[in-house]
Amino acid sequence: MTVMLEIKDLHAAVNGKEVLKGINLTINAGEVHAVMGPNGSGKSTLSYVLAGRDGYDVTQGSVMYKGADLIALAPEIRAREGIFLAFQYPVEIPGVAGTTFLKTAYNAIRKHRGEKELDAMQFLKLIREKQKQLDMTDEMVRRAVNVGFSGGEKKRYEMLQMAMLEPALAILDETDSGLDIDALKTVADGINALRDPGRAMLMITHYQRLLDYVVPDFVHVLAGGKIVRSGDKSLALDLEKEGYAVLGTAAA
Amino acid sequence: MANISESETIGAATTERYKYGFVTDIESDTAPKGLDESTVRFISAKKDEPDWLLQWRLKAFRQWLDKADEEPTWAKVNYPKIDYQDSYYYSAPKQQETLNSLDEVDPKLLETYNKLGIPLQEQMMLAGVAVDAVFDSVSVATTFKEELSKHGVIFCPISEAVQKHPELVKKYLGSVVPVADNFFATLNSAVFTDGSFVYVPEGVRCPMELSTYFRINAAQTGQFERTLIIADKGSYVSYLEGCTAPMRDEHQLHAAVVELIALDDAEIKYSTVQNWYPGDENGKGGIYNFVTKRGACRGRNSKISWTQVETGSAITWKYPSCILQGDNSVGEFYSIAITNNFQQADTGTKMIHMGKDTKSRIISKGISAGHAESTYRGLVKVMPGATGARNFTQCDSLLIGEKCGAHTVPYIEVRNKTAQVEHEATTSKISDDQLLYCRQRGLSAEDATTLIVNGFCRQVLQELPMEFAVEAQKLVGISLEGSVG
Ligand SMILES: Nc1ncnc2c1ncn2[C@@H]1O[C@H](COP(=O)(O)OP(=O)(O)OP(=O)(O)O)[C@@H](O)[C@H]1O
Ligand SMILES: [Mg+2]
């Protein structure tokens, strides 16, 4: 089995404050890992550290991606190498059409891979296919990036980007939050469609309902900047029933 | 028009320039350094001008002398005092040294052309490479010229218009920007040497963007340009000056005057892409661009629309304005001003509402990076007779980095109670969140900045003629190079 991501004793500080306090996690290609945990436990911080956000400093430990040191790479290089983060709070970029944004990203990644960039027509054809799967209209996709999108629409737009960019490692930060029941199903179908022996996923979520649709291989609980419990899908069900109290005082 | 290929268009421009005498007499000499009455007489004589124009110039020159202490100081720009006697006001155009191939051109210049996506043959034109007979331009040029004259459109250098259409020039020259208007306009009136003249007759929709010609000619833009555009009743014309390609010029001071006149139901769309040499990253060198641009909506239902993309010059001092005289006339100003490194821009507009139900719209986007300072200065004035006048102003500033500045100075003067004047202003920064979002999708920090800035400018970019909009977007990126760490 190929190791996609290997995190060892990861400590990270945000604005000088230590938030991640020794994370160990290995994700193999083809696996889906769910990460759960109380608010403020460091889940988004972990996703930002993996994405390479400025100000999120690794103070100890290591992160290897596809066998190479990830921390040394600029955020855009990580992205081009196949790391995709679906943001918990996608940002608005006024005046930039969604299609323009995505085409720029798509071609930047293709160029990095030594592939030919797509022209406008080829790109539109491709995006049309993908947007249909996610129940998105042309109008939504053409609008300025995330501007005036409802919470659920933003999440769907993140999924459209993921489907287009076909990452090797997808990190989904609460992509299920804010989705209505139908949208959740649509998004879950989208995620499942991307499950692939060559691709790994890290899904951050608070709710079992996503995991009903996208069944994870492993579930981890992050609390106080550490993974305090790991198990299979049944761990999520236990948590759903009993809350984080099940973890005992260590997690609080 | 649509079936004419790019290279043919350029070929046409080359020939037209020659035909219309954009290249002035090579044999002419240089006026001695400095500025006095004899300089003015020399220029007028060289141009073989009628006496009324010489007198007009002389009057301007005397007024300029009286204004010696009136060089404007109110703008938020700093520059060392200009010695007007230490300058040449008329010199024979230097025969540009012709290069044999693009290999001989400064690679840095070529790099910029490529980034802008300027086609190869056009690059050769701009860089002064000998254009051989690869494109048979004569027929296309003739088609263009025939097309224009078929519609009765006059488009020629202003000096030619003085000879061939003196009645039009005499009637309209100085009618929008009076000789005494301001220090630089007065100086221009005394010593202007080149510029364009356009007349579109009644009911005619000019069959082509006049930019098609101007693109190459722009590389020859003079120090004291004078442009006069008249749209007669019910006519329409779209004119574009400037060039996205970077332009250097031996003259540091540029003081142009542009006058537009729109009669009843006429519309003029005037677009500018200004990319003069801004000086180096330490603020050395660079052009001072002190321009007076003004349009008069003289007729009812007339419309004048200014769109400008200002990325060049060390100092820009420029306020394209509209005088809304005709009832129900419309003035628009769409502006992008980008300043980087040590550039300074003080720009904006004046909308003077005189007629009833006149409307104006101002959309200004200022972007500052590096140590640059950018000021929006705008006046909206509603005169007592302008019942029902309406103005909407939106001024947005975007700051990149910590050392630059943006300032908004709106003046509003309303003397009619029925007027509605709205002003919105915002100042923002490119947020870390936006940058991360883009970079997480694979864009470099620079590409991300360009994308975000282009989004910020979209309302203005979409006002540009199509063929320039794409280049202008790339220009935005190039202007901001080195501004993100
Ligand atoms: N920029 C910052 N400055 C200071 N503290 C921060 C910053 N960003 C995050 N933190 C802190 O780090 C901790 C972890 O935050 P994080 O956003 O990773 O939590 P989370 O597990 O994603 O929570 P949620 O479930 O609410 O999304 C919190 O205590 C938060 O206040
Ligand atoms: Mg979070």
Distance (Å) of CA A57 to CA A17, B432, B436: 10, 15, 15
pLDDT value at residue B10:
31
Please answer whether residues B203 and B431 qualify as being in contact, where contact means their C-beta atoms are separated by less than 8 angstroms: no
**Confidence band (pLDDT; 50, 70, 90) for B250?**
low
Tokens of A143: 């609008």
Q: Where are the alpha helices (DSSP H) in B135-209?
A: 138-150, 158-164, 166-172, 183-191
- Cut 0.90: pTM above it: no
Q: Is the pLDDT of residue B215 over 60?
A: no
pLDDT value at residue B94:
47
Tens of pLDDT, residues A80-136: 999 999 999 999 999 999 999 999 999 999 999 998 888 888 888 999 989 888 888
> What is the Å distance from ligand 2's center to A89 Cα?
9
The mean pLDDT of B132-146, rounded to a whole number, is 46
| B 396-455 residues with CB < 8 A to A | 431-434, 436-445, 447, 451-452, 454-455
pLDDT value at residue A5:
96
> What is the Å distance from ligand 2's center to B433 Cα?
14
Least CB–CB distance from A76: residue in B434, B439, B459: B439
Tens of pLDDT, residues B49-58: 999 999 999 9
Q: What is the dihedral of CA B3, B5, B11, B16, to 10 degrees?
A: 30
Q: Where are the alpha helices (DSSP H) in chain A?
A: 43-51, 75-80, 98-112, 120-133, 138-142, 151-165, 181-194, 208-213, 233-242
Please answer whether residues B228 and B197 qualify as being in contact, where contact means their C-beta atoms are separated by less than 8 angstroms: yes
Average pLDDT, chain B: 79
Q: Is the pLDDT of residue B27 over 60?
A: no
Tens of pLDDT, residues B310-352: 887 778 888 999 999 999 999 999 999 888 877 787 888 999 9
Tokens 């420029």 belong to residue: B318
Global ipTM: 0.94
Q: How many CB atoms lie within 10 A of CB A167?
A: 22
Give the strand order in the sheet containing A218-223. A83-86, A169-173, A200-204, A32-36, A218-223, A226-231
Least CB–CB distance from B437: residue in A91, A94, A112: A91
> What is the Å distance from ligand 2's center to A6 Cα?
21
Q: What is the DSSP letter of B99?
A: B
The mean pLDDT of B438-452, rounded to a whole number, is 93
Angle of helix B120-127 relative to helix B107-116, nearest 10 degrees, comes to 140
Q: Is the pLDDT of residue B468 over 50?
A: yes
First vs last C-alpha separation in chain A: 35
Provide the CB-side half-sphere exposure for A59 (13 A, CA).
14
Reported as type and span, the H/E element at residue A62 is: strand A56-65
Q: Find, in chain A, the residue whose alpha carbon is nearest to that of B436.
A: A53
CB-based contacts of B354: which residues, under 8 Å, 6+ apart?
Answer: B323, B324, B325, B383, B385, B386
Q: Is the pLDDT of residue B86 over 60?
A: yes
Q: How far is CA B201 from the centre of its chain?
A: 23
Type of residue found at A138: D
Please list every residue in chain A whose beta carbon sits closer than 8 Å to the beta carbon of residue B447.
104, 108
**Confidence band (pLDDT; 50, 70, 90) for B28?**
very low
Whether A84 and B451 lie within 8 Å, measured CB to CB: no
Tens of pLDDT, residues A159-172: 999 999 999 999 99
Pick from A15, A19, A206 the residue to mutate for probing ligand 1's pocket: most ligand atoms within 8 Å of its CB. A19
Q: Compare B364 and B97 and report the one with higher pLDDT.
A: B364
Please answer whether residues A251 and A225 qualify as being in contact, where contact means their C-beta atoms are separated by less than 8 angstroms: no
Name the interface residues of A facing B (CB cutoff 8 Å).
48, 51-55, 74-76, 78-80, 84-85, 87, 90-91, 93-96, 100-102, 104-105, 108-109, 112, 144-145, 161, 165
Provide the CB-side half-sphere exposure for A244 (13 A, CA).
18
pLDDT value at residue B79:
73
pLDDT value at residue B129:
53
Whether A51 and B457 lie within 8 Å, measured CB to CB: no
The mean pLDDT of A174-191, rounded to a whole number, is 89
Q: Find, in chain B, the residue whose alpha carbon is nearest to that of A95.
A: B455
Cβ of A16 closer than 6 Å to ligand 1, yes or no, is no
Sorted by where each starts, the structural domains of chain A and their CATH numbers stand as 3-251 (3.40.50.300)
Tens of pLDDT, residues A48-84: 999 999 999 999 999 999 999 999 999 999 999 999 9
Q: Is the pLDDT of residue B2 over 50?
A: no
Whether B451 and A104 lie within 8 Å, measured CB to CB: yes
Q: Compare B48 and B354 and report the one with higher pLDDT.
A: B354
Closest CA to B14 of B103, B154, B134, B164: B134
Tens of pLDDT, residues B147-183: 788 999 998 888 889 999 999 999 999 999 999 888 8
Percent of chain A past pLDDT 90, that is, above it, reads: 68
Closest CA to B309 of B472, B88, B83, B478: B472
Reported as type and span, the H/E element at residue B449 is: helix B445-456
**Confidence band (pLDDT; 50, 70, 90) for B484?**
low
